[in-house]
């Protein structure tokens, strides 16, 4: 079985101006040097991507966006296409983040279209799935997450599934300081792998599945020791370059 890619991806959300992003890139590169694994990804606001391209292209740090349109181009005011992201050296794009699902009312149908558009443009989607607190307390976490995976990846063939990264992000653990226990996170990531295996066994065994939700330098090592967790999607703890570099080092 090929080794799965280990990935630590930072999600800046709506933080950092162009000047702050450039400063961050220099500081991060000084600290991570030529680290080959885990793969480091910075998912920044659209406005910072051009500046980050200048600093990070050809470095070990990969660039990603936090959303994109399912449309290739056209009359979609305010939207950004996959081709625009490619031009800014993005190789990754976060899709279906719970904040977009909840605040912008993104549906699984839209997310599935975005996943397809990203793949067509040769961007790697980091597809976020996860249950809210009520769903967990009602014992529905697995069903909810399975449903999201099935709908968001519907109709994809084996070759396409191989190019997807999934981030399991329980909503109750995002930005709250509450991390899922490493055992709970492992169980959910294993469940996601099983769900993908129903679509393609070989794609599932090679797929990188990340955990996200209050990941910090102090808890990353324990999470990474779990057999179905191949990395992390990191929000708050990715905002400081020194702290993020320590988190990468501890992974």
Cβ partners under 8 Å of residue 55, min gap 6: 22, 25, 26, 29
Instruction: Give the pairing of strands 39-43 and 61-65.
Output: parallel
Q: How far is the CB of 13 from ligand PEP (least distance, A)?
A: 6
| Helix (H) / strand (E) containing 95 | strand 90-95
Among 55, 131, 169, 191, binds ligand PEP (CB under 6 A): 169
Among 215, 223, 224, 247, binds ligand PEP (CB under 6 A): 215
Q: By CB under 6 A, is residue 45 in contact with ligand PEP?
A: no
What is the DSSP track for 166-207? EEE--GGGTTSS-PPPHHHHHHHHHHHHHHHHHH-HHHHHH-
- Per-residue interface string for the shown chain with ligand PEP, residues 112-151, x marking contact by CB under 6 A: ----------------------------------------
Cβ partners under 8 Å of residue 108, min gap 6: 96, 147, 148, 151, 152
Dihedral sign (CA 12, 18, 19, 24): positive
Active-site residue among 39, 62, 97, 131?
A: 97
Residue nearest ligand PEP, CB atom distance: 235
Task: Please say if 150 is a catalytic residue.
Answer: no
Q: How far is the CB of 166 from ligand PEP (least distance, A)?
A: 13
Among 236, 244, 245, 248, binds ligand PEP (CB under 6 A): 236
Binding site for ligand PEP (CB under 6 A): 11, 13, 169, 174-175, 212-215, 233-237
């Amino acid at each position: 079985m090929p080794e799965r890619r280990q990935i630590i991806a930072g999600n800046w959300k709506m933080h950092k101006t162009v000047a702050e992003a450039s400063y961050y890139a220099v500081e991060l590169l000084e600290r991570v040097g030529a680290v080959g694994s885990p793969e480091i990804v910075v998912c920044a606001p659209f406005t910072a991507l051009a500046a980050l391209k200048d600093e990070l292209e050809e470095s070990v740090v990969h660039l990603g966006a936090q959303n994109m349109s399912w449309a290739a181009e056209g009359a979609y005011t305010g939207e950004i296409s996959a081709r625009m992201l490619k031009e800014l050296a993005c190789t990754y794009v976060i899709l279906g983040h719970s904040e977009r699902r909840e605040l912008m009312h993104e549906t699984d149908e839209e997310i599935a279209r975005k996943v397809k558009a990203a793949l067509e443009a040769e961007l790697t989607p980091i597809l976020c799935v996860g249950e809210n607190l009520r769903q967990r307390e009602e014992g529905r976490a697995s069903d909810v997450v399975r449903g999201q995976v099935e709908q968001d990846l519907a109709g994809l063939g084996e070759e396409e599934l191989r190019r997807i990264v999934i981030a399991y992000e329980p909503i109750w653990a995002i930005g709250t300081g509450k991390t899922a226990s490493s055992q709970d996170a492992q169980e959910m990531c294993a469940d996601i792998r099983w769900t993908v295996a129903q679509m393609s066994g070989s794609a599932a065994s090679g797929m990188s599945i990340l955990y996200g939700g209050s990941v910090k330098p102090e808890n990353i090592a324990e999470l990474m020791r779990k057999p179905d967790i191949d990395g992390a999607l990191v929000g708050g703890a990715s905002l400081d370059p020194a702290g993020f570099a320590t988190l990468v080092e501890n992974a």
